[in-house]
Chains A and B, each alone.
Chain A
Amino acid sequence: MSEWWTYSLSDFLLFSARTYYRLFELYNIDIWPAQSVALALGCILVALLWRPRAGQGRAIAAILALGWMWVAWAFHWRHFVTINWAATYFAYACAFEALLLIVFGVFGDDLAFRPGSSTHGIGFALVLFAVFGQPLIAPLVGRGFLQAEVFGVTPDPTTVATLGALLAGGRRAQWRMGIIPLVSCVLSGAVTWTLESPDAAVMMIAAAVVVGAAATKTARKA
């Protein structure tokens, strides 16, 4: 790309805010009642994180992987691609994230949780926000419930829940499952900021909280 410095984010955005959020509305109508199943899985995710039990990490990774797979196929591959040809690549990235969660989280049992650790509380709060808070953002900013973004079926809450779960865990190795969600946070933040959405800061703040908390924990250990 020549003269790359002359490009701004808006040069890469193919759709308007109205079209983007209308996509969520049509998507939600199309996949109903998948949202209720996803919400139930979100509640199980919260319960699993709340109280340690056998197989906790594998179960959490499996729920998250299911969410990423659904987002890859139903959201990006079938819906978002109708207004953004790049959604095909997003679908591949989400499918790869699901694969990482299955390989390292389900089979490798890399997700381990230590309630009471410095980051567990912040991670748990992020998961709570993703499951119960993010679906309320659309109606709170005036877009209505039909445009709500629900954990497990739309990208942003699934991303925040994944980062929250990884932050709540205690192993450094599990962060190889966090690269795609962090990139997703930045991309989503850039898109919503360019669209001048009132909630544009949400994903950037979520990413900053995760990176900040993880960095603080690492610094303390050192």
Chain B
Amino acid sequence: MHVMKPRLHVTCTDRRSPLAQRRRVVGALVALGVGTLLPAAPSFPQGKPFLTRAIPSSGEALPVVGLGSWITFNVGNDRVARDSCAEVMRNFFDAGGRMIDSSPMYGSSQDVIGYGLQKLGKPPRTFSADKVWIASGSAGRAQIEKSRERWGVPRFDLVAVHNLLSWEEHLPTLFAMKAAGQIRYVGVTTSEGRRLKEIEEIMRRQPLDFVQVSYSAVERDVEARILPVARDRGIAVVINRPFREGALIRSVKRQPLPSWASEADCANWAEFLLKFIVSHPAVVCAIPATTSVAHVRENMGACLGRLPDDAMRRRMAAHVEQL
């Protein structure tokens, strides 16, 4: 068993552009292992390495587990629940987490994240990932600005087009915002295996930094096309719904964790399922959502220790499918 390292990025079709050249340089560094297991910011008593992956377009390292907010952070004005979400965020940051993901579609989630960030003193390592989700392209900027105010951050790190809604209109706006320094990265998202063909086309034609899709041990459609294209094009992949909204982990938890899971330093099912995902070399991070402090700690455990190799990944997938 050994820790996997991503392979060299294949050259982009627009390789003459400065962006593509930078991606090639960063890709080469990543291939050499630089940025794959970058030094951990937090300290962990276990003494295990803290796993990060480099964003291909910049080389910036991100912990392999982030925090989603779909359903879990939509608690409205409930002060008790908001404080509980802030505790989840506190434990997430304490464990070295960086990327928090939301969308204007997620009800009050953006406000709740803003509340949590304010309460926690605006942790400087926060990687803010949000989306634009509105049919009218001309209304995109205003929506992003409103979202930014709800988060209470000076600017978003990543803004993606949510579920490809009006992506033809939104992407030029996002690229212009990136050029102006108003956001740092641009992406597109989908979930549950929808519109993958269209996503692939966009990935091939647009200079995206990120793509967000669903992927798990039992939902592996993206392995065939999306993940290889992401590697070829130097696009960071973020994985949503890694536990299929909790259904997958509830299902496997009825069974004991296989003893061989310890070979990849998996102490529980959350680490098992997440390490399967983040050990794919195209994946930069997975963003499970939770309302539980215990669960966020378990999830962040997947940032520690060894990752499974190809043979073990196949074994993990087969085992979960069999369950």
* A interface residues (Cβ-Cβ under 8 A, vs B): 2-3, 6, 10-11, 13-16, 18-19, 22-23, 26, 79, 82-85
Q: Which of B20-28, B67-75, B88-96 contacts A (4 or more CB under 8 A)?
A: B67-75
Known: A14-B106, A84-B107. A3 touches B76 (CB 8 A): no
Task: Tell me the minimal C-beta distance from A213 to chain B in angstroms.
Answer: 37
Known: A15-B107, A82-B76. A3 touches B71 (CB 8 A): no
Contact A14 B194 (CB under 8 A): no
Contact B71 A85 (CB under 8 A): no
Q: How many residues of B contact A (CB 8 A)?
A: 18
Contact B195 A3 (CB under 8 A): yes
Known: A14-B71, A14-B106. A6 touches B245 (CB 8 A): no
User: Would you list which residues of chain B between 232 and 282 have a CB under 8 Å from chain A?
Assistant: 245
Q: Contact partner of A83 among B108, B192, B193, CB < 8 A?
A: B108
Collect the chain A residues with CB atoms within 8 Å of residue B291's CB. 16, 18
Minimal Cβ-Cβ distance residue in B for A86: B107
Minimal Cβ-Cβ distance residue in A for B192: A6
* B interface residues (Cβ-Cβ under 8 A, vs A): 71-72, 74-78, 81, 105-108, 192-195, 245, 291
Contact A82 B195 (CB under 8 A): no
Q: Contact partner of B75 among A10, A19, A85, CB < 8 A?
A: A19
Contact A19 B195 (CB under 8 A): no
Task: Tell me the minimal C-beta distance from A29 to chain B in angstroms.
Answer: 11
Collect the chain B residues with CB atoms within 8 Å of residue A16's CB. 71-72, 74, 291
Contact A26 B77 (CB under 8 A): yes
* Bound: A178/B291 CA distance, A: 39
22 A-B interface contacts by CB (under 8 A): A2-B194, A3-B195, A6-B192, A11-B192, A13-B71, A14-B105, A14-B107, A19-B76, A19-B78, A19-B81, A22-B75, A22-B78, A22-B81, A23-B78, A79-B76, A82-B77, A82-B108, A83-B74, A83-B75, A83-B76, A83-B107, A85-B107
Contact A14 B74 (CB under 8 A): yes
Contact A6 B76 (CB under 8 A): no
Known pairs A13-B71, A84-B107 / 5 extra A-B pairs, C-beta < 8 Å: A2-B195, A14-B74, A14-B106, A23-B76, A83-B107
* Bound: A6/B107 CA distance, A: 22
Contact A26 B78 (CB under 8 A): yes
Collect the chain A residues with CB atoms within 8 Å of residue B72's CB. 16
* Bound: A55/B75 CA distance, A: 45
* Bound: A3/B194 CA distance, A: 7
Contact B194 A19 (CB under 8 A): no
Minimal Cβ-Cβ distance residue in A for B111: A82
Task: Tell me the minimal C-beta distance from A88 to chain B in angstroms.
Answer: 12
